[in-house]
Chains A and B, each alone.
Chain A
Amino acid sequence: MVFILQKTLIFTIPLLIVALAGVFAERSGIINIALDGIMIFGAFFGAVMALFLRTNVPFFVSHPQLLFLTCMLFAALAGAAFSYLLSISAIKFNANQTIGGTALNLLAPALSLFLIKVFTSKDQLEMGTAVDLAGERRDFSYVISNGNLPGFLRVFFDKAYISTFVCIGLFIVLSIFLYKTKTGLRLRACGENPQAADSVGINVYKMRYLGTTISGALAGLGGYTYIATVANGTASGAVAGMGFLALAIMIFGNWNPLGIALGALMFGFLKCLSVVYIQVEFLAKLPLPMYFYNIIPYLAVLIVLAFSAGKSRAPKAEGIPYDKGQR
Chain B
Amino acid sequence: MKEFLKKDGTRSLIASILCILGGIFVGFVVLLLLAIFTKDIPIGQAFQGLGIVLSGPFSSGRNAMFQLGNMLFNTTPLIFTGLSVAIAFKTGLFNIGAPGQYLMGAMAALIVSLSIPSSVVPPAIIWILALLAGALAGALWGAIPGMFKAFLNLNEVIVCIMSNWIAANVVSWVFADSKFINYAETKVNFIVKTETNNIATPTLGLDSLFSGGSVKSYVDISIFIAIFVAIVMYIIMNKTTFGYELQACGFNKNASKYAGMNEKRNIILSMAIAGALAASGAALWALNGHQDFKWETYLTLPADGFNGISAALLASNNPIGVIFSALFLKFINVGGSNLAANTAFNEYVSQLIIAMIVYFSGFARYIISVMKIKGVEKVR
Q: Which of A33, A96, A111, A291 has most B Cβ within 10 Å?
A: A291
B34 touches A111 (CB 8 A): no
Among B155, B300, B310, the residue within 8 A (CB) of A106 is: B310
Contact A93:B352 (CB < 8 A) given known A251-B158, A291-B298, A299-B166:
no
The answer to whether the Cβ of A57 comes within 8 Å of any Cβ in the partner chain is no
| Given A107-B356, A110-B355, A305-B158: A294 in contact with B362 (beta carbons within 8 A) | no
- B157 contact set on A, CB distance < 8 A: 33, 98, 247
A301 on interface, CB distance cutoff 8 Å: yes
Are A291 and B352 in contact, CB atoms less than 8 angstroms apart? no
Q: Is the CB of B344 within 8 A of A118?
A: yes
Alpha-carbon separation in the docked complex, A251 to B173 (Å): 29
Whether B155 and A251, one on each chain, are in contact in the complex, defined by CB atoms closer than 8 angstroms, is yes
User: Closest CB-CB distance, A171 to chain B, in whole Å?
Assistant: 22
Cβ-defined contact, B366 with A93, below 8 A: yes
B231 at the interface (CB under 8 A from A): no
Q: Which of A85, A102, A309 contacts B153 (CB 8 A)?
A: A309
Q: List B contacts of A94 (CB < 8 A).
A: 365-366
Task: Give Cα distance in the complex from A301 to B165, angstroms.
Answer: 12
Pick from B155, B159, B162, B300: contact of A238, CB under 8 Å:
B300
Contacts of B309 in A (CB 8 A): 102
Asked if A218 CB lies within 8 Å of chain B CBs, one says no
Is there a chain A Cβ closer than 8 Å to B363's Cβ? yes
In whole Å, how far is B372's beta carbon from the nearest beta carbon of chain A?
14
A59 to B103, CA, bound (A): 50
- Whether A117 and B348, one on each chain, are in contact in the complex, defined by CB atoms closer than 8 angstroms, is yes
Contacts of A100 in B (CB 8 A): 359, 362
Interface centre among A98, A102, A107 (most CB of B within 10 A): A102
Query: A292 contacts which chain B residues (CB < 8 A)?
Result: 169, 173
Q: Any chain B CB within 8 A of the CB of A134?
A: no
**A residues 281-299 touching B (CB-CB < 8 Å):** 289, 291-292, 294-295, 298-299
**Interface range on chain A (Cβ under 8 Å from partner):** 35 or more
Which B residues are CB-close (under 8 A) to A113? 348, 351
**Which residue on A lies nearest to B94, using beta carbons?**
A98
Determine the residue in chain B with the shortest Cβ distance to A89. B362
B282 proximity list for chain A (CB < 8 A): none
Which one, B170, B299, B359, contacts A85 given CB within 8 A?
Answer: B359
Known: A85-B359, A103-B362. A302 touches B159 (CB 8 A): yes
Residue on A with the closest CB to B26?
A107
Whether A295 touches B166, Cβ cut-off 8 Å, given contacts A95-B366, A251-B155, is yes
Q: Give chain A residues whose Cβ lies under 8 Å from the Cβ of B310.
A: 106
- Is A99's beta carbon under 8 Å from chain B? yes
Interface string of A25-59 (1 = CB under 8 A from B): 00000000100000000000000000000000000
Give the number of residue pairs across the A-B interface with Cβ within 8 Å: 132
B349 at the interface (CB under 8 A from A): yes
Which B residues are in CB contact (< 8 Å) with A102?
A: 96, 309, 313, 358
A200 sits at the interface (CB 8 A): no
Find chain A residues with CB under 8 A from B298 CB.
291, 294
Is the CB of A10 closer than 8 A to any CB of chain B?
no
Q: Are A118 and B165 in contact (CB under 8 A)?
A: no
Q: A110–B154 contact, CB under 8 A?
A: no
Known contacts A98-B94, A117-B348, A295 near B358 by CB under 8 Å: no
The 0/1 profile, CB within 8 Å of A marked 1, for residues 149-183 of chain B is: 00011110111011111100110110010000000
Minimum Cβ distance to chain A for residue B177 (Å)? 9
At the interface, yes or no: A179 with Cβ under 8 Å from chain B? no
The residue on B at minimum CB distance from A307 is B152
CA of A33 to CA of B156, assembled, Å: 13
Is A306's CB within 8 Å of the partner chain B?
yes
Q: Which residues in chain B, 249-290, are within 8 Å of chain A measured between CB atoms?
A: none
B162 touches A114 (CB 8 A): no
CB distance from B31 to the nearest CB of A (A): 10
Q: How far is the CA of A240 from the CA of B94 in the complex (A)?
A: 21
Contact between B352 and A110 (Cβ–Cβ < 8 Å)? yes
Decide if B115 is an interface residue (CB 8 Å cutoff). Answer: no
Whether A96 contacts B346 by the Cβ 8 Å rule is no
* A113 to B349 CA separation, bound complex (whole angstroms): 9
Separation of A294 and B298 alpha carbons in the complex (Å): 9
A108-140: which have CB < 8 Å to B? Answer: 109-111, 113-114, 117-118
Contact A309 B154 (CB under 8 A): yes
The smallest beta-carbon distance between B154 and chain A, in angstroms, is 5
- Asked if A169 lies at the interface with its beta carbon under 8 angstroms from chain B, I say no
Bits for A297-327, please: 1 = Cβ < 8 Å to B, else 0. 0110110011001101000000000000000
Q: Whole-angstrom distance between the alpha carbons of A325 and B238 in the complex?
A: 33
For residue B244, CB closer than 8 A to chain A, the reply is no
Q: A306 near B154 (CB under 8 angstroms)?
A: yes
Nearest opposing residue in chain B for A241, CB measure: B165
Across-interface contacts of A277 in B (CB, < 8 A): none
Tell me the bound Cα distance from A273 to B111 in angstroms.
Answer: 30
**A95, A98, A110 pick with most chain B CB within 10 angstroms:** A110
With contacts A103-B356, A106-B355, A118-B344 known, is A295 near B300, CB below 8 A?
Answer: no
Chain B residue numbers with a CB within 8 Å of A156 are: none
Which A residues are CB-close (under 8 A) to B172? Answer: 291
Judged by a CB distance under 8 angstroms, whether B318 is at the interface is no
Within 8 Å CB of B38, what residues of A?
Answer: 118
| Interface check B148, CB cutoff 8 A | yes
B166 lies within 8 A of A298 (CB):
yes
Residue in contact with B170 in the complex, picked from A240, A247, A295, CB distance below 8 Å: A295
Query: Is B98 located at the chain interface by the 8 A CB criterion?
Result: no
Within 8 A of B (CB), among A228-247: 238, 240-241, 244-245, 247
Q: A110-B348, A248-B158, A309-B154 are in contact. Are A96 and B165 (CB under 8 A)?
A: no
The answer for the CA separation of A109 and B345 in the assembled complex, in Å, is 16
| Given A111-B355, A114-B351, 6 further pairs, Cβ under 8 A | A95-B365, A106-B354, A110-B348, A117-B348, A118-B346, A251-B155
CB-CB nearest 10 A-B residue pairs: A103-B359, A114-B348, A106-B355, A95-B362, A107-B355, A110-B351, A99-B362, A291-B173, A309-B152, A110-B352
Instruction: Please list 25 pairs of residues, one from A and one from B, whose beta carbons are closer than 8 Å in the complex, sorted by A's number.
Output: A89-B363, A93-B366, A95-B362, A100-B359, A100-B362, A102-B309, A103-B356, A103-B358, A106-B310, A111-B352, A114-B349, A118-B344, A118-B345, A118-B346, A244-B158, A251-B158, A291-B170, A291-B173, A291-B176, A295-B170, A302-B163, A305-B148, A305-B158, A306-B148, A309-B152
